Every structure is written in structure tokens, then in C-alpha cells.
Homo-oligomer: A and B are copies of this chain.
Amino acid sequence: MELTKESIAEWFKKLQNDICFSLEKLDGKSKFVEDEWERSEGGGGRSRAIQGGNLIEKGGVNFSAVSGPTPEKILQALNLSQAEFFATGVSIVLHPENPWVPIIHMNVRYFEMSNGVWWFGGGIDLTPHFVIPDKAKSFHQHLQSTCDKHSPNFYHKFKSWADDYFFVKHRNETRGIGGIFFDKLGDKEGRSKEEQWSFVKDVAETFIPAYQDAVQRLRDEKWAIEDKKWQKIRRGRYVEFNLVHDKGTKFGLDTNGRTESILMSLPPEVNWEYSHQPTTDLQRETLASLKKGIDWINA
């Protein structure tokens, strides 16, 4: 199949189907509800939300393929006066019921303009409410093994990029244990479009096995009221990152995107307390682990 924007969007649509199917099986209780929407300037999307599951308290798996005049901010950044754009991708955020289970996020996307510029972006990252080193290691091994199939530099490069990107500056802590993040993978680095696309597809297909592994055992752990309370505080930090720092969220809201789809990433049942302090060793160890540059695989 020739690699066109249509074929990329089709693949992402099928990815959304596959991931929703696997997640419903994994959850065992709740089903996704779908909203199809259209964008007045061109294109649209298919948002799928899941709530009140056995595993997932609130989550979203969104597909979109939008087009039209390129937003002013992108034109400025690229020093262009006018161009049409096309953007397609899949975005996922899953908030678990059980505080022992981590929050997971994935995004894979493709962008092109009428002047011939194109790029891919994306990544997967994990935000545990409690950091458990052997689970963090296993999660990063999934990502490393996918990266290594494409370039010996990718894991290190994209892992550092995630550390820098998912940083809650005003709290001086990373959002979670990171993962990989990449943007503007175009043809500048001597890699063909087919090679970049092949990497992005492999990242997307790493999502389900990495998540299955991340929730395994933990989803059956008993939790106490204090653990739930801690989860709600940590979810507050997740909100702070997404609303204050996340470029994707900001871009979506600035460009009049579909608010309910963009903010599907926000958690249920969040709590802010003034000057909240950790009360257990594991909570303290978690905070101490929210740093850039930790080598989770060889720690």
C-alpha cells in the first residue's frame, strides 16, 4: 500500500479499534462509548470514552484526522505565510480505579502541509501513583526493545526527550517515570518516510503489551483509604501538567479543538490540599523518583 495521508489515517483508525477491543477485554466490565464529530474548518474525529470499569475508572482513546488552513502559530514557527495542513493521530489516557495501577498515556501522530513538509510525532509514558522500580524497569524495557529495532540511538534520545517534556516545572518534578517522546520526525535525518512510519507503527503496537505488563499483579493489589487519597493528590499534579505545561492540550484549546476530546485526559476524583506532604515511605520514595535522567533499566 502506498504511503499517503489517507493510508496513515486509515491505519490509525484501525489502531483505535484494536486498542479499544483489547482494553475492553482487559477491563472486563466497561465498554467504550463513541462520539463522532466534525470540525467546521475540515475533517473530524472519533472520540471513545470508557468510565467506571473494573480496571479503568476513566479513559479515552481518540482518533482524529483534521485539515484546513494551517494555524497561525505553526505558520509563524515555520516562517510561512500560508499553507493547508493535514493532521491525524491517536491519543490515549487511562486513569485506573486502583491507586497501585499507573496512569498511562500514548500519542502517535502525523502532520503534513501543502508545501510538502511532513513529520511524525508521538510517544508513550507512564505515571504511577506509587513508583515500583521493577515495574518501571519492565515498562522501559518494552520501549527500549521497540526503539532498538529501528536505531541504537532512539531509546536514549527519546527517553531523555520524555524526561524533559513531561516535567512539571512549578513542582520541580517529572510527571511520572517518563517513557519515550519524539516530535518532528521528518526526512531531515536521512530516514525515509517509510522508515519513520514503520517506527511509529511499532511504538503504537507496543502500547497494549506494555500496559498489560504495567497493570499485571498491581490491578489485584488491595488498597487502603490513604492510598486512594494519595492517588487523588497525584492526579492533581497530572491536571497541573496537562493544563499548564502540555503543548498538545494548549494547542488544541488555542485552535478551537473539540474541548471534551482534548480534556478527556483529565482524571476523575482529584483533590488539592494546601501543602500536602507524603505520609509513608513509599510515597516519599515515589516523590524522590520523579526526577529526570534516571536509568530505569539499569538502576
A contacts, CB < 8 Å to B: 35, 49, 51, 58, 60, 169-171, 236, 239-240, 243-244, 250, 253, 259-260, 262-264, 266-275
Contact = CB atoms under 8 A, between A and B. Distances in A.
Given A58-B272, A268-B273, A270-B270, 18 more contacts: A35-B275, A49-B274, A49-B275, A51-B274, A58-B273, A58-B274, A169-B253, A170-B253, A170-B262, A239-B239, A240-B263, A243-B243, A244-B250, A260-B274, A263-B272, A269-B270, A269-B271, A270-B271
Contacts of A266: 236, 272
A266 to B, nearest CB: 4
A30 to B, nearest CB: 12
Nearest to A243: B243
Contacts of A243: 239-240, 243-244
Q: Specify how many copies of this chain sit in the oligomer.
A: 2
Given A267-B272, A270-B272, A259 B170 contact: yes
Contacts of A269: 269-271
Nearest to A272: B266
Contact of A274 (B60, B169, B170, B239): B60
Q: Which 6 pairs show the lowest CB-CB distances between chains A and B?
A: A243-B243, A266-B272, A49-B274, A270-B270, A170-B253, A170-B259
7 contacts: A58-B272, A170-B263, A239-B239, A243-B243, A260-B275, A270-B270, A270-B272
Nearest to A35: B275
A232 to B, nearest CB: 8
A236 B271 CA distance: 11
Nearest to A51: B274
Contact of A268 (B51, B268, B272, B275): B272
Contacts of A271: 268-270
A253 B259 contact: no
Contacts of A262: 170
A273 B51 contact: yes
A267 to B, nearest CB: 6
